[in-house]
Amino acid sequence: MPRLRLIALVFVLSACNASTGSPSVAPGPSAVGASAAASGACLDRAQLADDADTVAVALQAVITALNASNTDQARSSAATASAGMRKTADFAAAMKPDAAAAMRDVADKLDAAAAAFPSGLSTAQTLQAAFVAGYQLARRVVCPD
């Protein structure tokens, strides 16, 4: 069920970003497989999805907590999300350094934003979209099914 939330989040945020000229959906399995197969090395699909799902759930918890004015919960969830982003970045770094750099940048910005909670709802939402963009970059080098 949590993976389903991540997939839905990717599609929603991709659709929101479509007006900026970015692709409206993440690469399909055949495009991902062809890209990864061409280079020979790839990222484990399940591990990347599991790591990203943990981050997506934590980021949504940040937003929910900020909407409820629960600063302590928002900070706790932000710390979980930030740690998960760094773990995902470390996992993706060798195969997709630009995705890793994007995820680390989002983690740093989330850490800075957490200091200003309870304000920062729009920042958290923007960072959620930025994480999804980094995740989509990493998906380009996952192993074929």
Instruction: Retrieve residue 40's tokens.
Output: 């020979």
Q: Are 15 and 26 in contact (CB under 8 A)?
A: no
Backbone angles phi, psi at 63, to 5 degrees: -65, -45
What's the angle, vertex CA 74, arms to CA 111 and CA 51, rounded to 5? 65
Q: Could you read off the pLDDT tens digit of each residue along the chain, which spans 145 residues?
A: 455 454 444 443 443 333 333 332 334 443 444 444 455 689 999 999 999 999 999 999 999 999 999 999 999 999 999 999 999 999 999 999 999 999 999 999 999 999 999 998 999 999 999 999 999 999 999 999 8
Structure confidence at residue 40 (pLDDT): 65
Structure confidence at residue 122 (pLDDT): 92
Structure confidence at residue 41 (pLDDT): 86
Q: What is the DSSP letter of 142?
A: B
Structure confidence at residue 98 (pLDDT): 95
